[in-house]
Amino acid sequence: MVKIREIEYENLVKNVRRLILILIISFLFSNSYAAELSIPYNVVSNPNVKVGELTIVSHQLRYGNPGSIPERITLSVTDNIKDFVHLSEREFELDAGESKNVTLYIILSDAISRSGKIIATANDGTISLSMETIVNINPNYLGNSNNSKAPSQPSIISPSNNERICRNYAILSWSQASDQDSSIIAYQYEISKYSDFSIILDKGIVPNTSIKIPISEGVKYYWRVRAYDGKYYSNWSSSSFKAETLWNCLEDTRSRLSFLENLVNLIKLAICSVHSFSICNSPITTTTTIPTTSTTTTSSTTTIQQTTTVPGQTTTTTISQSTTTTIPTNPTEIFITENWSVVCPSTFNYNGVTYTIINCRAELWRNSWYVSERIMQVGESWVVNRGAGYYIKLYGRVS
């Protein structure tokens, strides 16, 4: 009888092991192809180029998520073409069934042929999938330019020097340069952890006056930018900022927060120290009782306001469940609209004042959670999946 029980026990152990093995194999199999991504075909560009003069051409690249769960998409460019191309976005989220256009800018001042890759990595939180798009640049030589003067030096706009940033990205922006010989100007940027730029973390060339970069908390960054007209460079303009830790950012607001708000922020701090969820990108918010100024469109009485930390100090005020926008005295950024489909306008009228829009900052939200954001050029549109709870908050950078 004892022998039979031992055999039964051994069989039970074997069956349990087999069951566990089957479950593990099923889990791995069911997730091994969870990440799906559709990418653009190979890009072939044949721009007409004058040596010593900038030529900028653009191509639309469409990325899609044919899978059944949301994915985080990261784009990178190989080093051999990094100094000659720029992507309008390098990181974004795609919901299931959603697709997105990314603009590829090719910026040339010579007629040399080049070939490189754009690498797209999709991550669904469990599995990563990388795919490549080949970029072949074969310019047509049209002669030499008569360019003889260097462009003016751009000025740093933001972040301000030694500014502390409480999020995992930074938007670097600068003023537009001018050139007596050329109407086409690009901007070269470099980012380093060292003030002498002895080691470069990131570099590139862009056709516009801002760029969004990922940053790591606790690190001080040095960055510089200069204008380029295809032949001459301006002088560098330099600045620095620090990506603060979430704890230090919370310390600045703890004295103004209630016990419950402190508890929520501490839980968020604990989660974000281990994982990188979408809530880790959301700005820190505070709720205080302050008087509404005359710039608020709804009231001039004391009300409960929710203030969201965003570039340009734009403040959203909630009064009796209705949302209005407070415009600073001399705004650098104004709120335009909140919708699932937006277009960056060239101008925007607020309270009888017409503002000229340089470009737009679009925040992607899902229900009440911040997901990501992107810089949009004037005339550029963005449509998201309204049925899945996504919507966009659009802000305009004004001149």
218-254 pLDDT, tens digit per residue, is 899 999 999 999 999 999 999 999 988 766 766 555 5
For the cut 50, the answer to whether the pLDDT of residue 302 exceeds it is: no
Q: Are 240 and 222 in contact (CB under 8 A)?
A: yes
DSSP string for residues in 145-201: ----SPPPPP-EEESPTTEEE-SSEEEEEEPPP--SS-S--EEEEEEESSTT-SSEE
pLDDT (0 to 100) of residue 221: 96
State which H helix or E strand residue 243 sits in: strand 237-243
For 359, the token pair is 């470009």
Q: Are 254 and 262 in contact (CB under 8 A)?
A: yes
Place of tokens 């089957």: 22
State which H helix or E strand residue 158 sits in: strand 156-158
pLDDT (0 to 100) of residue 186: 94
For the cut 60, the answer to whether the pLDDT of residue 209 exceeds it is: yes
For 357, the token pair is 């829009």
Residue 68 is given by DSSP the state S
The CATH code belonging to domain 156-243 is 2.60.40.10
- Among 184-188, 347-351, 379-383, top mean pLDDT goes to 184-188
399 burial level (CB within 10 Å; 0-12, 13-18, 19+)? exposed
pLDDT (0 to 100) of residue 32: 43
The angle that helices 259-272 and 246-253 make with each other, rounded to 10 degrees, is: 170
pLDDT (0 to 100) of residue 145: 87
| Closest-CA residue to 88 (of 114, 59, 110) | 59
- Among 57-71, 205-219, 298-312, where is mean pLDDT lowest? 298-312
Mean pLDDT to the nearest integer, 49-63 = 92
pLDDT (0 to 100) of residue 309: 38
Q: What is the pLDDT of residues 141-186, one digit of tens each?
A: 999 988 888 999 999 999 989 998 888 889 999 999 998 877 789 9
pLDDT (0 to 100) of residue 306: 39
Q: What is the pLDDT of residues 82-140, one digit of tens each?
A: 999 999 999 888 888 888 999 999 999 999 999 999 999 998 877 788 889 999 999 99
pLDDT (0 to 100) of residue 48: 92
For the cut 50, the answer to whether the pLDDT of residue 310 exceeds it is: no
pLDDT (0 to 100) of residue 323: 39
**Between residues 324 and 341, which one has the greater pLDDT?**
341
Query: What's the CA gap between 398 and 354, in Å, rounded?
Result: 10
Query: What's the CA gap between 120 and 127, in Å, rounded?
Result: 14
- Return the half-sphere exposure (C-beta side, CA atoms, 13 A cut-off) of residue 274: 4
262 confidence band (pLDDT: 50, 70, 90): low
43-144 homologous superfamily = Immunoglobulins (2.60.40.10)
**Between residues 273 and 357, which one has the greater pLDDT?**
357
For residue 338, how many other CB atoms are within 10 A of its CB? 15
Mean pLDDT to the nearest integer, 362-371 = 82
**Between residues 48 and 35, which one has the greater pLDDT?**
48
pLDDT (0 to 100) of residue 127: 79
Residue 389 is given by DSSP the state T
β 114-123/71-77 pair status: antiparallel
Phi, psi of 271, deg, nearest 5:
-65, -45
pLDDT (0 to 100) of residue 383: 83
Query: What's the CA gap between 328 and 343, in Å, rounded?
Result: 23
Query: What's the CA gap between 131 and 244, in Å, rounded?
Result: 33
Beta-bridge partners for 87: 104
